[in-house]
Structure formats: C-alpha cells, structure tokens
Amino acid sequence: MNGWTVAATATLAAGVGTAAWGVATGPLRRRVVAQNLSTSLACPALLLLSEGYDRPSYVDLALLLALLGPVGTLVFARLLAEELAADPPHAWGLTYAVAGFGAAVVIAVCVAAGPSRALVKLLVVGTLLIGGNLTASRALSGGFAGSRRG
C-alpha cells in the first residue's frame, strides 16, 4: 500500500465507479459521455497501478486503452448519430476536468520515471489519452460532419 495505489483505488472507485453508474442510468446524452470518460479514467488508474506495483507491463494496458477507448466511442458516435443529433451531449467542463486529471497523472508518473525511454512511452500514452478523449467528445457532440451520416 502506497500513495500510488491509494490514488489508483480512489480513481477506480470514484471515477470509474461514477462513470459506470452514468453509463447505466439516465438519458442517452449522459450515457455516451460517461462511456467515453470511463476509459479516460481507467487509463490513468492503470498508470498509477503500474507505478504503485512497479509493473511496467501495466503501461501497455494503459496504452491499448488510450488507443481503443476513443475508437469505441467513435463507433457509438457513428451508430447513434441520429439520436445524438436530436439531443446532443454538452459536457465540456467534465471532459476537460477528466483530461486535466489524466494530464496530472501522466506528469506525476513521468516525474517518477525520470528521463528514460519509459518517459517517452508515458508521454505517448498521455498524448493518445487526452487527444483521443477530446476528439471522441467532439464527435459525440456532433463536431464532425462526417459522423452524422450514420
């Protein structure tokens, strides 16, 4: 038990737990945002666990999640384009808060890793995490004309 695992547990319980609740209840516009944010929260949790348990292989899981999470959201944005166009989600405050949290976690694990190849890998994960999250959020709120064609 150390600070990293405590932070990871808090992220999983408060963040991913809340996101799971958001996915399971409420109107569609809230569900899709929660679905997008669940992977954006699980990825930093994996980075924290990797640091806490000193298992670098967990970073590979975070990398996959950062890459495939937004792809999954884009599939939802495409399939639900008509419903979302009628009732588009507006949760930019929450989206930027989660993106900021992801950036803070990536910076913290980068500082812990020190200058090395692992640091560059963490920066790639962070870029994919935040860039993918913002791109997927924009697609959900109808920011890309192509995603409306269904």
Partner 1 sequence: MNRRTTLLGVAEVLAWWAVLALLWLVFISTVNTLELVVGASAALIGAFAAWGTRRAVSGW
Q: Radius of gyration over alpha carbons of the chain, in Å?
A: 16
Segment contacting partner 1 by CB under 8 A, of 54-62, 65-73, 86-94, 97-105: 54-62
78 binds partner 1 (CB under 8 A): no
Q: Closest CB to partner 1 among 80 and 124?
A: 124
Structural element, H or E, at residue 4: helix 3-10
Q: Are 57 and 72 in contact (CB under 8 A)?
A: no
- Shortest Å distance, C-beta 129 to partner 1: 15
E-only strand ranges, the chain:
none
Q: Closest CB to partner 1 among 56 and 150?
A: 56
Tokens of residue 23, six digits: 């996915």
149 binds partner 1 (CB under 8 A): no
Q: 72, exposed or middle or buried, with CB in 10 Å at 0-12, 13-18, 19+?
A: middle
Tokens of residue 53, six digits: 């348990």
Number of residues that bind partner 1 (CB under 8 A): 8
Tokens of residue 144, six digits: 């890309």
120 binds partner 1 (CB under 8 A): yes
Tally of CB atoms within 10 A around 24: 9
- Shortest Å distance, C-beta 63 to partner 1: 8
Q: Closest CB to partner 1 among 56 and 88?
A: 56
37 binds partner 1 (CB under 8 A): no
Binding residues for partner 1 (CB under 8 A): 56-57, 60, 63, 117, 120-121, 124
